Amino acid sequence: MSRVLLVANWKMNMTRVEARAYAGDLGSRIGDSSGRVELVLAPPYTALDAARDPRGRWALAAQNLSGERAGAFTGEVSAAMIAEAGCRYVIVGHSERRTLFGEDGPLLSRKLARARESGLIPIYCVGETARERAAGSTRETLAGQARALADDPGDQPLVVAYEPVWAIGTGLAATPADSAAAATDLRTLLAGRRDLRILYGGSVNPGNARDLLGDGGIDGFLVGGASLQAATFAALAEAASA
């Protein structure tokens, strides 16, 4: 079995000073055990450097990128800049980007293309709202969101994070059965991809990680709130490697 992938999405949290302290704390907790878990930290752009592990026990991800290559786009950060800053991954289409910043399928397709041009592995987020779930249209939502991947090269590694919107930051995680159903749908929708890993995200914590990993049909987690303390993230890594 490939290693469990555990991604810490810090969102708009952590100054450089805080990131440096977190990295030191996490490093001392995980010691030399790279173990069965691949760890990735996704700090704000400003803290990427501070969150780096000189010993390479975790990789870095950016939380977002521009759909443009370069030029007069004030406030944007390009894929090339992110890759040069040491990131291996980039999160694309997080539900907060979709709902709070109006990111739609065509824009996300451009972001995916920019990520590939710079050799970044996308962590592409999908997931239904509570209303879509209640209407029984989860599968249609996932299929619609997966359309942004139509032009993404199938021979490149891809990570898809199933993050039901109703589970993000609510303390109300999906059940392993919910997660497994979505993962099965996604694997069907993306059949033919050579290297596809599926993460679950939404109120993951050290208490529910084992069950989700066991029966949730997934390869790891995208973690928000429970990633903000090094102790909790290390506990998640421990749970995921057990």
163 noted as active-site residue: yes
Considering beta carbons, is residue 145 or 203 the nearer one to ligand PGA?
203
Distance of CA 159 to the CA centre of its chain: 8
By the rule CB under 6 A, 103 interacts with ligand PGA: no
Largest CA distance in the chain: 49
Contacts of 56 (CB under 8 A, 6+ apart): none
Contact yes or no for 42/62 (Cβ under 8 A): yes
Candidates 163, 224, 230, 159; CA nearest to 13 is 224
94 noted as active-site residue: yes
Contact yes or no for 190/149 (Cβ under 8 A): yes
Site string for ligand PGA, 139-178 (x = CB under 6 A): ------------------------x----xx---------
Q: How far is the CB of 169 from ligand PGA (least distance, A)?
A: 4
**Subset of residues 213 to 242 that bind ligand PGA, contact rule: CB under 6 A:** 222-226
124 φ/ψ angles, rounded to the nearest 5 degrees: -90, 125
Out of 43, 127, 201, 217, the residue judged to bind ligand PGA by CB under 6 A: 201
Site string for ligand PGA, 3-42 (x = CB under 6 A): ------x---------------------------------
Considering beta carbons, is residue 80 or 235 the nearer one to ligand PGA?
235
Contact yes or no for 227/215 (Cβ under 8 A): no
What residues are labeled active site? 94, 163
Q: Which residues bind ligand PGA (CB under 6 A)?
A: 9, 163, 168-169, 201-204, 222-226
